[in-house]
Structure 1
Amino acid sequence: MTLSKKMMAAVAGVSMLAGAGVAHAETTLKVAVGFGPGSAAAYALENFAKNVEATSDLKMKVFTLSLLNLKETPPGLRDGIADVGFVLPPYYPAEYAEINLAANLSMLATVGANSTSPGMAMGAAMTEYVFLHCPECLTEQKKQNQVYLGTGVSLDYILQCVTPIRTMDDLKGKKYRSGAANFGRWAEHVGGTKVSVPGNDIYEALAQGVVDCAMISATELSNLQLFDVVKYITTNIPGGVFAGVATNSVNRDVWQDLTPAQREAIFKASARSSADVTWKYYADGVRNLKQSPEKGIEIIKPTADMIKMSEDFVKSDLAVISKQFTDDYGLSNVDAKVAKISELIEKYKKLTVGMEDDAEALAQLYWDEIMSKVDLSTYALD
């Protein structure tokens, strides 16, 4: 049975719940993407909009890097400036502490058992965790007046620099752009300085010497036009992926005003949207790395001791993460949550083998393992 048919069967009868939604036909929803046209996020959300329009009476208008930037999107979505948004929870550590706990474990995706696509494994793990194992995550979303609909994840993180990083000594004393707390701790661990720079400002930070390196995926070479400023890439470190993503969250008031059939269409499109983000990050990142030498960027492979150092850091950082989210953010049962997330990452490392270039297969996995188990007749309607 195809993904579409399975989804339709799972939500059959939902649209018959009379009076559950009051949105009018031809409603147009504003979709905010804080990346520019042609980016992985824009690609996924534009496809999301097309899929929703093809299966409902909703209309969607996608704003790429115009309505809200990446940091503005979470509060803008909460306050109704946008109806749907590409949300990055790490920009607001306290407000999204529960989901950020899971995102902070993303470096586990590139240690231990190998994965053909760490991003795909981590994205599915995040999505299952939030939907099926973390009611606190959903409560947190409610407080932000948002409805979580899945996570897409980046390609593994590398160092994109304006100065060469070839040895352990080269790592010391450098300023590293960090987009999440775990990567910031990695920067300090290697003797560098972490610098918090929003994604939209990385280009200028590298160009003006505010940072020496950005810890980010190869996909951003094109997403953020970093081809113009990056001179050296060191692969395989710090490792990990960026998992702090809620791919196409919906304003909660808007969600509750939709008809059951409209919510169904959005939910079905969301499985593919998260898969599209992850696949596009992978495909574009692979392409960008191949193109880098011809654009004047030197590709450097780290030494064995650099890789071992990074893997040892990831293992030791688990205790730091647990303590931080317990003490600083007041989360409960953190060790049990860390264990569950770790279990899910290993589960999806196995289930995503061979899917790195197959967005449809990944979307099917999202549906079969996770989203088919969500009850749309009650989800986010309280």
Structure 2
Amino acid sequence: MTLDRFAGLLGRAAPTAFASTAFASTAFAPAAFVTAALAAGLAGAAQAETYTIQTSFNAGDFSTQHLSETWLPKIAEMTDGRVEIAFTPNGSVVPAKETPEAVAYGVLDGDFTSVNYFSGREPAFALLGDLISGYDTPRQMLGFCKDGVGEEMMQKAADELTDGEVKVIACGPYSREALAARTPIRTFEDLQGMKIRSPEGLAAAVFAAAGASPVSIPFSEVYGALEKGIVDAADASAYVNNDATGLNDVAPYPLYPGIHSMAAMQFTMTRSKWDALSPEDQTALRDWWYMAMEDLTRVVHEEDEKLAERDRQGDRIEVIDWAQEDRDKLREVARAEWESYAEKSELAGEVLQAHLDYMKSIGLLK
């Protein structure tokens, strides 16, 4: 990605910013949002600095609504009105895989993005973004970031792409994703020949090693790809998000609890903007993010369980729960791919060792 590419973006009108309640809408009305954002900025200019953060969420996601309605308002409270954040949805300013450069050059003030999008550019991101079949719960991997060396590893990976111009504030997942499927995949062997939408990198490698055919499709196009039969299944999001965006309507054989993905997000800011914050506000932003993600983990799990049970009681959707034997077969395949990715770069090897050390420290591995 060249500086000219982002210089051109910097010459455009300011990126669209969603107010907390507006971002919950499934519609995207740029003029209205720009007007609202400018009005809010003028009204609060004396008190707060508003930072535009592009997410990898779609506007209609349950997760989007919960974060926007419950947690965006808390930032101002935690910083005594000095800091506010405006979210923009996946791909609204730049494609998700370009957010590191966009943040580095100040096109975006920061991002809140699944780092799987960057795995094709630095293999370490594949292991940081989703250690397929590794951690049992999102809280374990959040601990790797917050209490272990996850943030440090994520910063090293970000530096590989942006020469230190991006600050990684926090990282981690919030859900064990379901697998939306329009064709029943009841066993490990049923993966054979299935066309599965998957991010580039480790997830795609694991599906391929298991006999499926991974297909790279932008997240925003998953619904159409499932509806038209372009893919048989899709690595998309949590059960509640898939339900909210209608994926289960066109893919009525969801695998839940998920067999594969626990995608980690990163929360970043342009280095110069981060450095301009007071130490108190820096601490508040990091604390805010982990509080929001831990709460989102709890709420999403509760909603996942409620919706999956509702669908089990109906006759429209078949919720498929793999037997442990099939899950173990996929984990064996996944572990071989971990090792393969660890050999792709020095940093990737360092990241895998960091994961293994942390897993042992919490008793997940011996």
**CA–CA separation in structure 2 for the residues paired with 1:277 and 1:43:** 7
Offset from partner CA, 1:112-160 (integer Å, 9 cap, x none): xxxxxx1111122134323356762463475373221212314324432
Structure 1 contact 119–153 (Cα < 8 Å) conserved: yes
Q: Which amino acid aligns with 2:242?
A: L
Deviation at 1:242, TM superposition (A): 1.6
Structure 2 contact 131–262 (Cα < 8 Å) conserved: no
Instruction: Decide which of 23, 26, 36 is 2:59's aligned counterpart.
Output: 36
Instruction: Decide which of 229, 234, 248 is 2:250's aligned counterpart.
Output: 229
Change (3 A) 1:260 1:237: closer
**CA–CA separation in structure 2 for the residues paired with 1:215 and 1:66:** 18
Q: Which residue of 2 aligns with 1:183?
A: 203
Q: Which residue of 1 aligns with 2:275?
A: 256
Q: Which residue of 1 aligns with 2:86?
A: 61
The structure showing larger relative contact order (alpha-carbon pairs under 8 Å, at least 6 residues apart) is 1
Offset from partner CA, 1:76-128 (integer Å, 9 cap, x none): 43333332321222212255543433334242114xxxxxxx11111221343
Change (3 A) 1:168 1:94: closer
Instruction: Decide which of 342, 345, 349 is 2:356's aligned counterpart.
Output: 342
Change (3 A) 1:146 1:285: farther
Structure 2 contact 159–165 (Cα < 8 Å) conserved: no
Deviation at 1:176, TM superposition (A): 0.7
TM-score, length-scaled by structure 1: 0.70
Aligned to 2:196, the other structure's residue is in SS state strand
Aligned to 1:253, the other structure's residue is in SS state helix
Structure 2 contact 166–268 (Cα < 8 Å) conserved: yes
Deviation at 1:236, TM superposition (A): 5.0
Offset from partner CA, 1:293-341 (integer Å, 9 cap, x none): 4372112233554233212213322321222x23xxxx25x54542321
Q: Which amino acid aligns with 1:27?
A: E
Q: Which residue of 1 aligns with 2:116?
A: 90
Larger displacement relative to structure 2 (161-170 or 60-69): 60-69
Change (3 A) 1:251 1:276: farther
**CA–CA separation in structure 1 for the residues paired with 2:86 and 2:315:** 35
Aligned to 1:165, the other structure's residue is in SS state coil
Offset from partner CA, 1:45-89 (integer Å, 9 cap, x none): 554432220132223333345844645644443333332321222
Aligned to 2:291, the other structure's residue is in SS state helix
Q: Which residue of 2 aligns with 1:146?
A: 166
Aligned to 2:180, the other structure's residue is in SS state strand
Deviation at 1:209, TM superposition (A): 1.2
Are residue 219 (structure 1) and residue 240 (structure 2) matched?
yes
**CA–CA separation in structure 1 for the residues paired with 2:69 and 2:106:** 20
Instruction: Decide which of 241, 252, 263 is 2:262's aligned counterpart.
Output: 241
Instruction: Decide which of 338, 341, 346 is 1:321's aligned counterpart.
Output: 341
Percent identity between the two aligned chains: 17
Structure 1 contact 31–61 (Cα < 8 Å) conserved: yes
Q: Which residue of 2 aligns with 1:52?
A: 75
Change (3 A) 1:141 1:272: farther
Offset from partner CA, 1:144-199 (integer Å, 9 cap, x none): 73221212314324432111122454322110111252221222223220111222
Gaps of at least 5 residues in structure 1 are 1-22, 111-117, 351-382
Q: Which residue of 2 aligns with 1:365?
A: none
Q: Which residue of 1 aligns with 2:293?
A: 274
Structure 1 contact 322–335 (Cα < 8 Å) conserved: yes
Change (3 A) 1:260 1:129: closer
Change (3 A) 1:79 1:98: same
TM-score, length-scaled by structure 2: 0.73
**CA–CA separation in structure 1 for the residues paired with 2:154 and 2:101:** 22
Structure 2 contact 170–290 (Cα < 8 Å) conserved: yes
Q: Which residue of 2 aligns with 1:284?
A: 303
Q: Which residue of 2 aligns with 1:108?
A: 134
Structure 1 contact 160–213 (Cα < 8 Å) conserved: yes
Change (3 A) 1:227 1:32: same
Q: Which amino acid aligns with 2:109?
A: D
Larger displacement relative to structure 2 (136-145 or 156-165): 136-145
Q: Following superposition of structure 1 onto structure 2, how do residues 65-76 of structure 1 map, counting pairs within 5 Å?
A: 67-68=92-93, 70-71=96-97, 73-76=99-102
Gaps of at least 5 residues in structure 2 are 1-44
Structure 1 contact 104–181 (Cα < 8 Å) conserved: no
